[in-house]
Amino acid sequence: MRLCSFSRDSRRHPGLVEGDHVVPLAAHDAIDIIRGADPVAGGDPIPLADVVLEAPVLPGNALAIGLNYRAHAAETGQQPPAEPVLFAKMRGTYNRPSGPVVHPEWTRRLDYEGELGVVIGATAHRVPVAQALEHVFGYTCVDDVSARDRQKAEPQWIRAKSGWGFMPMGPWITSADEAGDPQDMRIRTWVNGELRQDTNTSDMIFTVAELVSFASHVFPLEPGDVITTGTPSGVGVGMDPMRFLQPGDVVRVEISGLGAIEHAIVAP
């Protein structure tokens, strides 16, 4: 299934995306479907063009992984890590797939990171790698928006990674049974139509199964939690000369089989 959340009457509704329509669901929220409720239709199909897609789920926890592609570690001048580098995205980062992302006044080096997002489906606590994917509900596209100057200058990455709206995601969650192999997805990012990132998730240092297992040994992962799995090479800070996002820029992240998100950067 392709599970989305959309807004109507100024509240969120869950839906199933079928073709170019969304079928509203009777459930209260997408999290109910992620936890295992049957996706029962609760209304007539609505053209996708007539709704605003929201973040498909509002995770209880959003974890992110630093340096999970060798070429990205190299472009940022760092060694590939021996263990996954975990950090968090605060709730205020959650953003609809169309954004926008407000360019904060406290950074001059705003950057994009196209990433594969993993949505947990069943509580995962201390799960072995071999069983980790059984705890995954599905996959989605994420832009792990980053303030490079704050990331470099500050020992904690809260400001660098958790600015308001710094996590556009969606456009929906493709369930694991339909998404295919998470280690064989093409991931591409464009800025203003210029292709910047073009990699396959087969190049990850730590696989999705390894990341879920690793994180589950830190604390229990709950249904709806999201792990965004690190960005490949091609970010703005890795270019020569470096190129950062400005108000008016448009970022598009597309992952094969999962769809695409596209959001603008806007002035504060």
Task: Point out which residues bind Mg ion (CB under 5 A).
Answer: 113, 144, 231
In this complex, which beta carbon is closest to Mg ion, that of residue 39 or of residue 234? 234
Question: Smaller CB distance to Mg ion: residue 6 or 94?
Answer: 94
With contact defined as beta carbons under 8 Å apart, do 84 and 216 qualify?
A: no
> Which CB sits closer to Mg ion, 5 or 68?
68
Structure tokens at 161: 């990674």
If the CB atoms of residues 162 and 231 are measured against Mg ion, the closer one turns out to be 231
| Nearest distance in Å: CB 28, Mg ion | 31
Residue with tokens 């769809």: 259
CB of 142 to Mg ion, least distance (A): 8
Q: Least distance from C-beta 78 to Mg ion, angstroms?
A: 13
Residue with tokens 């928006």: 145
Half-sphere exposure of residue 56, counting CA atoms within 13 Å on the CB side? 34
Nearest to 64 by CA among 101, 112, 100, 116: 116
Q: What angle do CA 253, 256, 260 make, to 5 degrees?
A: 35
CB of 227 to Mg ion, least distance (A): 11
Which of 27/73 has CB closer to Mg ion?
73
- Residue identified by tokens 């989305």 is 4
In angstroms, what is the minimal distance from the CB of 255 to Mg ion? 14
The DSSP annotation for 221-250 comes to B-TT-EEE----S--GGGSSS-----TT-E
